[in-house]
Structure 1
C-alpha cells in the first residue's frame, strides 16, 4: 500500500485504504477506482488516497491506533464542535473515555514510530487534526517518561486543544485567501475561548485546559495569547505546540498544500527550533520517520523506490524497494535495500511513483 495524489489516480487502480466522510464509508478498501469515483473524491476535496499495486505489494503501513478508535474520536470532536451551546456542555466523560482507548492502544503497541494515514476531506481538517495531535502528543509524552495519569491529562488537552475554534465564524476559518490583520486577531481568540469552555467542564483538569490556552505560546515569548516564556508554559502545552505545528504542516489546507514529513522536520529543527522546547522537540523527532512507510523516494544514484520499512536507530536510512532505474525505466525485478547497511546510498528527495505495470 502507498499514498498517491488523486490527480495521479487512474481508472483501474485498487484502493488500499477505506475513505470516510462524516464517519461514513465512501469507498471500501479493495474498491476499483473509476472515473466517476475519482471525480467525486476530487469534489470532496480529497487530495490523496492509498492504493495497492505491484509497486507496493506486501507493504503494510502500521498504525498505533485502530481505525475505529480514530473514527470514534473524530465523530466526538465533530459533534462537540457542531452541537455546542452554553447550555449544553461538552461530554467530558466521553472525551476521557476516548483518550483512554487511544492511550491503551498506544501503550500496547510494540512500536511507537508514527505513520499518519488519515485521508481528510476539504471540510474535515480540524476534526482529523485534533485526533492526530492527541496521538502524536501522547506518544511524545511516553518518550518523555510521563506517567499514565499525566499522559491521560495530556491526551485530553491535546484532543480538545482547538475546541475554541467552534466560536470562530466559519467564513474566517474556511477562508481560502490570506486572513486580514483583524481576521487573524479573531482567530487567535480561539485559545482563550477554548480554555474558558474546558474550565467549565467536570473531570477536565486545569493542566488539560491550559493546553487549549497555551498551545500557541512560544518559549521565546513571541506566542499568544499572553506572550509566556520558557517554563511559564506548561509542559503539556509545549508538547502540543510541537505536534500541532507538525500535523498542520503535513496536512493540506484550504490556503496551501502540505509538505512532506522530512520537510516539516527540517523546518521545525532549523527555522522553528528557537521557539520550541528543545527536550520535547528531540523526543518528538524520535517518533516521526522523515520517510514514512509507503512514501516514494529518490536515491543519490537517481533510482526511485518506495519505503517498505523503518530502521528505528537510523530513521533517515529506511528499507527501500527500488522500482525505477535512474533513466526512469521500470525494473523487471524490484530490488530491496536496507540503507542502514548500504553506506553509499542516500535519500535526496521525496517523490511520487506514478507509473504502473
Structure 2
C-alpha cells in the first residue's frame, strides 16, 4: 500500500488502513472500495491523507510501535477523560495506567522501529491522535535515553495527557498548560512529574516559552522530551508539513526552543520519510519508501520506477520497478517528498 493525499485518491481505489472515530471505534475499515461519495465525506470530516492498497506495493509492511488494540484503547480512554473533564467530573486513572503500561511494553519490544506518524486524522479525532503520537515519540525517546521503567511509565502518562487542559471550554491557548497541571496534580495516584509535563511542555530552553518562561535546566527532562514530540506532531497536523520539513524546522530551533541533545535523540526515533510515501531522488527517479533503517532515517529503501519516469510524469502503471537501498547507494539522496 501507499500513503497519499486525499486529493489524489481516485474512486475505485481501496482503503489500506482503518479509519477511527475519536473514541477508538472503526469508522471505515481497511478494504473498503472508495466511492466518489466516500472520498467527498472523508474530505468533509477533515481527512487529508490515507493509505490505499496498490498491488505494486503489496509487500510493504508499515510497522507500528503499538498494536491497533492498544491505540484504540488509548483513544477511547482519552475521549472519555475529555468528556468527563468538560462535564466537571473526575476520570478513571486506572484505565490510563493499564493503557500506558501496554504502550511502554509494546514500544520496548519494538524499539528498533522508527515512529511512522501516518494515522488518519479527522476533525473529531485529531486531539486524540496527536496525544497518542506525542506519547509514542516521547516513550521511544525515553528508551533511547535509558530512563528506568518506572520513569517510562510516568513519561507515558504525562505525554498522553499533556494536552488535557485543552478539554476545558473557552480557555486561551496559552492557559492550557496551567489548566492541565491543575487537573493532573489532583490525581494522587500519579507522580507529580506527570503534572509538570503538562505544565512545562511549552517552555523553551532560552526562556521564551510559556507559562512561566523558565529556561535551561529549570525545565525537567520529560518536559523537554514532550516539547519536541508535541511540536513535531503539531507541525504535521496544523501546518501540514511533511516529516522531513518538520525535522528541519525543529533542528533550526536547537538551543533556542529545544535542547540540542533531545533533538539528536528525537532524530533517531522518527521516520523522516514514512513508509509508503512518495519521494524524488537526486538522480531524478521517483519512487515509494518501502523499508526503514534504524539509525539512518534519511536513508530508507526506495522502490523506484524506471529512469525514464521522472517527476511531473506520474502515470507509472506500465513502468519497471527496482529497489534502491540508500544505505548502500552513497551518491544518491532523497531530494524531497512529493504527492502522487
TM-score (norm 1): 0.89
Three-state SS of the structure 1 residue aligned to 2:256 is helix
Structure 1 unaligned residues grouped into runs of 5+: 173-185
Q: Is the 8 A contact 1:239 1:280 kept in 2?
A: yes
1:213 maps onto 2:213 in alignment? no
Where do 1:197-212 residues align within 5 Å?
197-212=183-198
Secondary structure, counterpart of 2:211 in structure 1: coil
Q: Quick check: 1:268 aligned with 2:250?
A: yes
Residue 205 of structure 2 contacts residue 255 of structure 2 at CA under 8 Å; is this kept in 1?
no
1:157-306 counterparts in 2 under 5 A?
157-169=158-170, 186-251=172-237, 253=238, 257-271=239-253, 273-306=255-288
Q: CA deviation at 1:291?
A: 1.1
Cα deviation, residue 26, structure 1? 2.3
* Pair 1:3 & 2:3 matched: yes
CA contact (8 A) 2:174 2:211 kept: yes
Q: Once structures 1 and 2 are overlaid, which stretch shifts more, 109-118 or 333-342? A: 109-118
Contact 2:6 2:50 in 1 (8 A): yes
Structure 1 position 93 matched with structure 2 position 75: no
- How far apart are the structure 2 equivalents of 1:26 and 1:93? 27
* Contact 2:16-2:53 at 8 Å conserved across structures: yes
Deviation per residue, 1:67-105 (Å, 9 max, x gap):
121111111111111222686312222211110010111
Gaps of 5+ in 2: none
| Residue of structure 1 equivalent to 2:46 | 45
Q: Which residue of 2 aligns with 1:334?
A: 321
Q: Which runs of 4+ in 1 moved over 3 A?
A: none
- Secondary structure at the aligned position of 1:284 is classed as helix
Conserved? CA contact 1:15–1:50, under 8 Å = yes
Is the 8 Å Cα contact of residues 112 and 139 (structure 1) preserved in structure 2? no
Between Structure 1 and Structure 2, how many residues are aligned? 334
What SS does the corresponding residue of 1:4 show, helix, strand or coil?
Answer: strand
In structure 1, C-alpha distance between the alignment counterparts of 2:154 and 2:113, rounded to whole Å: 19
How far apart are 1:289 and its partner, in Å? 2.3
Q: CA deviation at 1:215?
A: 0.4
8 Å Cα contact 1:92-1:202 kept in structure 2: no
Cα distance, 1:272 vs structure 2: 5.1
Q: Secondary structure at the match of 1:139?
A: helix
Q: 1:323 to 1:352 in 2, by over 3 A?
A: farther
TM (norm. structure 2) is 0.94
Partner of 1:275, secondary structure, is coil
Q: What secondary structure, in the 3-state scheme, does the structure 1 residue paired with 2:320 have?
A: strand
Distance apart, 1:292 and its partner CA: 1.7
Find the aligned partners of 2:14 and 2:326 in 1 and give their Cα distance: 29
Q: Deviations over 1:202-248 (max 9, x none)?
A: 31111111001100011101111111111111111010000000010
User: Pairwise mapping of residues 304-315 of structure 1 onto structure 2 (< 5 A)?
Assistant: 304-315=286-297
